[in-house]
Amino acid sequence: MVRIATFNVNGVNGRLPVLLKWLRARDYDIVCLQELKTSDEKFPADAIREAGYGAVWHGQKS
């Protein structure tokens, strides 16, 4: 069974420590993040990869 979760992160960089803790505490196959509120250049792709996830995103500043 594939486990999918969504997280309304409401600012991925400001809530990055909470997001990473949540990712490590769960074992989801796919996670969809909503309301990133960051530009593509500032998306924390490396931190997401280090938590064991790949990332595909389209960011907007606000």
Q: Give pLDDT, residue 27.
A: 87
Q: Hey, what long-range contacts does 18-21 have (CB within 8 A, 24 or more apart)?
A: 20/47, 20/51
Q: What digits encode the pLDDT tens for the residues 15-53?
A: 999 999 999 998 899 999 999 999 999 999 999 999 999
* pLDDT of 61 higher than 90: no
Could you state, in order of their start, the residue ranges of all structural domains in the chain? 4-50
Count, residues in the chain: 62
Q: Give pLDDT, residue 7.
A: 94
Residue 62: pLDDT band (50, 70, 90) is low
